A and B are shown apart, each in its own frame.
Chain A
Amino acid sequence: MTTPVLEIRNLHARIEEREILKGVNLVIPQGQVHAIMGRNGSGKSTLSYVLAGKEDYEVTEGEILLNGENILEMEPHERAAAGLFLAFQYPIEIPGVATMTFLKAAINAQRKARGEGELTTPDFMRAVKEAGAQLNVDSEMLKRPLNVGFSGGEKKRAEIMQMALLKPSLAVLDETDSGLDIDALQVVSKGVNALRDGKRSMLVITHYQRLLNHIVPDVVHVFSDGKIVESGDKDLALQLEAKGYADYDGQAA
């Protein structure tokens, strides 16, 4: 059996004194797209931050294996180099740092961490141009400071473009549909689908079913009160959309 890209075992995490993740178990095999659905405050976004290694959260129990390797002791930048990518719900605006400079720094830092040489400028420019074309990210946007003054749609397109350039083995998409109109949603989904290559795995976090019409998942998980309470195929998302999350409230306790 091949090693799953992501394996989460009995993960507990808290912020300050409040426990938010209460025993998450999840296995994503190579090439699969899993969706996590749940209402606001159920801990979905916390899961994405804990995966990426945000300092504010303390993992009290459990393991996270990325391609068979425990990443809990790794710094966020080491996790990225190991193949993890988090597309933020709210991409951060960073004044004074040109998007192009940032992209180059990120790509080369990851290559360096993996013992690969830096990309030459022409190769880098070519890669950026290709990735940008797919997602309608033009050179004018790349000259601007990172995410500064970008519209909601531009920010999300820029996130997916980063993902295309960084080529992670696991992409975590946190509420990628929030703040997008239908047109932007289609562009972003197309970009994401183009990166489904049978090897790369994805974890799509959302609380609306509509995103899953565009990015069709292999497995849907329902998240409630800090853990996964039910899993099924894509039809589970449709049922949730019809009935809401109320059925799961009792189970959490």
Chain B
Amino acid sequence: MRQTFPVRLGAAEESLIAQLKAAGATQAAERVTVAGLPTRRVEAYHYTDLKTLLRAIPPLAQAANEATGTALRVPGAYALSIVNGAVLGAATAPEGIKVGKTQGGVLTNRDDVIVSVSNALAKETLSLDLKGAVEQVVQIDHRIEGEAGHVADATKIFVADDSSAVILETFSGSDAAHVGNHATYLALGRNAVVTHVTIDLSTRATSHFATNEYHLADGAQLRTLVIHAGAGLARTHLFPRMAGEGAHADVTGLNLVSDGQHSDITMETQHAVPHTSSQPLFKSITRGRSKAVVQGKLIVARDAQKTDAKFMHQGLMLSDDAEILSKPELEIYADDVVCGHGSTCGKLDEDSLFYLLSRGIPKAEAETMLVRGFIAELIDPIEDEALNEALQGIVDNWLLGDK
């Protein structure tokens, strides 16, 4: 239920409203004015209360001419960059890849502040058309450069019928209190096979928001992997839509959370037609005083019979002070479906650790092996060797990094 009395607006909301008004997005501005940023009373933000967590919105980022670096280089990848919201001139695209620029937002409008801000503020849109078996990994390197800035960028990707591609999006930037709002719309044609990996490697000072919308036509196969390993506050909202018969999505994600961080992966999958399946599998590893959130909602339409979907979240706590929060939701309107959800949470298994120690492996190395083992299910299916290695490297760096 929408609140009818006016909410008290904080500094973050005031700046956001001013930015929306300046961009001519009256409706979006009005919405923030009336409702404010979502609190824990808004179900989708129950564990990620933006009113408390997001205290300031920096000014809209100035245009930047170049990226000062990249967080991740994958050998052999075809890389494009979006810096402070602007698509930078791309090198000649390999066969099967068409790069273009359009204007405006890419997300379907919904009752969500991150989505409405994205649609209101995203100016330049990177558009990619992929056709045939695209061999090279396509990397979109998102950077926020300079002083603390608010950036909304948008990407629209079409993968043609019977085509295949591996798409990597990386997010990083200068060490400042940026707020990034990144939107990706990815449409898979009939029988298209796509792997989409997004990795947040921003600095701790950054607040990272990403919204990924997927549209799967008949027989399309999608594997997604979201990794949060950077920003102090990170939230990725996934909206897969299983729109064609025989479509299947492995929707996966990993929160790597250290002291002081808050990471949230929230998914809402629509099974819109009969005979579709999805396998959402998320893992969270926490240490120090930190918080990881995974919410997964499966919506099965009235005539989407034979839907097969199971949501799973597994948490691994490396400290006693961390919190792992899990919320599955099923909204099923069809009567002949197999849907389920599960959630587990625990520490490293003492017996497994002792077994490795007893073979001469020192404790730190044994723990690393067990953590890698814990997430192998997510990383192993990424077949591109260079990308797989890069992902393994991110996990190893996290394990070696500040607690």
- Give me the interface of A with B, judged by CB distance under 8 Å: 52-55, 75-77, 79-81, 85-86, 88, 91-92, 94-97, 101-102, 105-106, 109-110, 113, 145, 162, 166
In the complex, the chain B residue whose C-beta lies closest to that of A52 is B358
Q: What are the nearest 4 A-B pairs in CB distance?
A: A96-B373, A96-B376, A80-B360, A76-B357
Set of chain B residues within 8 Å of A106, measured between Cβ atoms: 356, 359-361
The answer on a CB contact under 8 Å between B376 and A105 is no
A76 to B376, CA, bound (A): 26
Contact call A96/B354, Cβ cutoff below 8 A: no
CA distance A103 to B358 in the complex (A): 12
The interface residues of chain B lying within 8 Å CB-to-CB of A75 are 357, 362-363
| Most A C-beta atoms less than 10 A away, residue of B349, B357, B365, B376 | B357
From residue A93, how far is it (CB to closest CB) to chain B in Å? 8
- Cβ contact of B356, chosen from A102, A145, A166, cutoff 8 A: A102
Known: A75-B357, A76-B358, A80-B358. A94 touches B375 (CB 8 A): no
User: Using an 8 Å CB-CB cutoff, how does the interface string of B3-38 with A read, 1 for contact, 0 for none?
Assistant: 000000000000000000000000000000000000
Contacts A88-B355, A95-B377 aside, 14 further interface pairs with beta carbons under 8 A come to: A52-B358, A75-B363, A76-B354, A77-B358, A77-B359, A77-B360, A77-B362, A80-B358, A94-B369, A97-B372, A102-B369, A106-B359, A109-B360, A113-B360
Cα separation A77 to B377 with both chains bound (whole Å): 27
Q: Is B43 an interface residue (CB 8 A)?
A: no
Is B352 interfacial (CB 8 A cutoff)? Answer: yes
Give A34 Cβ to nearest chain B Cβ, in Å: 20
Q: Does B361 contact A77, Cβ atoms closer than 8 Å? A: yes
Q: Are A91 and B355 in contact (CB under 8 A)?
A: yes
Which residues of the other chain, A, contact B360 by a CB distance below 8 angstroms?
Answer: 77, 80-81, 106, 109-110, 113, 166
- B379 to A, closest residue via Cβ: A96
> In the complex the two chains form, is A77's CB within 8 Å of B363's CB?
yes
Please, which residues of chain B bring their CB within 8 A of the CB of A91?
355
- CB-CB < 8 A to B359: which residues of A? 77, 80, 102, 106, 109-110, 162, 166
Q: Is B45 an interface residue (CB 8 A)?
A: no
Cross-chain contact of B362 among A88, A96, A101, A109 (Cβ < 8 A): A109
CB-CB contacts below 8 Å: B351-397 with A:
351-352, 354-363, 365-366, 369-370, 372-377
Give Cα A177–Cα B3 distance, bound, in whole angstroms.
69
Q: B373 near A94 (CB under 8 angstroms)?
A: yes
Partner of B377, one of A85, A86, A92, A96: A96
Chain A residues, CB < 8 A from B355: 88, 91-92, 94
Chain A residues near B363 (CB-CB < 8 A): 75, 77
In the docked arrangement, what's the CA distance between A110 and B361, Å? 7
What chain B residues lie within 8 Å of A92 (beta carbons)?
Answer: 349, 351-352, 354-355
Most chain B CB atoms below 10 A, which of A77, A91, A113 = A77
Per the bound structure, the CA–CA distance linking A88 and B356 in Å amounts to 12
For the complex, give the distance between the alpha carbons of A186 and B365 in Å. 35
Q: Is the CB of B374 within 8 A of A96?
A: yes
Contact B352 A77 (CB under 8 A): no
| Residues on the A chain within 8 Å of B374, using CB | 95-96
> How far apart are A113's CB and chain B's nearest CB, in angstroms?
7
CA A212 to CA B244, docked complex, whole Å: 64
A77-B363, A113-B360 as given contacts; A95 in contact with B354, CB under 8 Å = no
**Cβ of B379 to closest chain A Cβ, rounded Å:** 9
List the B side residues contacting A113 at CB < 8 Å: 360
Q: Contact check: which of B350, B352, B354, B361 meets A105 at CB < 8 Å?
A: B361
Q: How far is the CA of A162 from the CA of B356 in the complex (A)?
A: 12
The docked-state distance in angstroms from the alpha carbon of A85 to that of B361 is 12
Write out the residue numbers on chain A whose beta carbons fall within 8 Å of the beta carbon of B362.
Answer: 75, 77, 109
Interface residues of B in 187-214 (CB under 8 A from A): none
B contact residues around A53 at 8 Å (CB): 357-358
Expressed in whole angstroms, the minimum distance between the Cβ of B156 and any Cβ of chain A is 36
Of the listed residues B358, B361, B373, the one surrounded by the most CB atoms of chain A closer than 10 A to its CB is B358
What are 25 sample pairs from A and B whose C-beta atoms fall under 8 A apart? A54-B354, A75-B357, A77-B359, A77-B361, A77-B366, A80-B358, A80-B360, A86-B358, A88-B355, A91-B355, A94-B356, A94-B369, A94-B370, A94-B373, A95-B373, A96-B372, A102-B369, A105-B361, A106-B359, A106-B361, A109-B359, A109-B360, A109-B365, A110-B360, A162-B359
Q: CA–CA, A230 to B113, complex, Å? A: 78
Q: Which of B351, B356, B375 contacts A96 (CB 8 A)?
A: B375
Report the bound CA distance from A81 to B359 in whole Å.
Answer: 8
Nearest A residue to B355 via CB reads A92
Q: Are A55 and B352 interface neighbours, CB within 8 A?
A: no
* Binary contact track B119-144/A, C-beta < 8 Å → 1, others 0: 00000000000000000000000000
- By a CB distance below 8 angstroms, the chain B residues around A95 are 373-374, 376-377
**Nearest chain B CB to A159 CB, angstrom units:** 10
Inter-chain CA distance A75–B353, complex, in Å, is 12
Complex Cα–Cα for A193 and B402 (A): 48
With A75-B363, A105-B365, A109-B365 known as contacts, the answer to whether A145 contacts B373 (CB < 8 A) is yes
Bound Cα distance A75, B362 (Å): 9
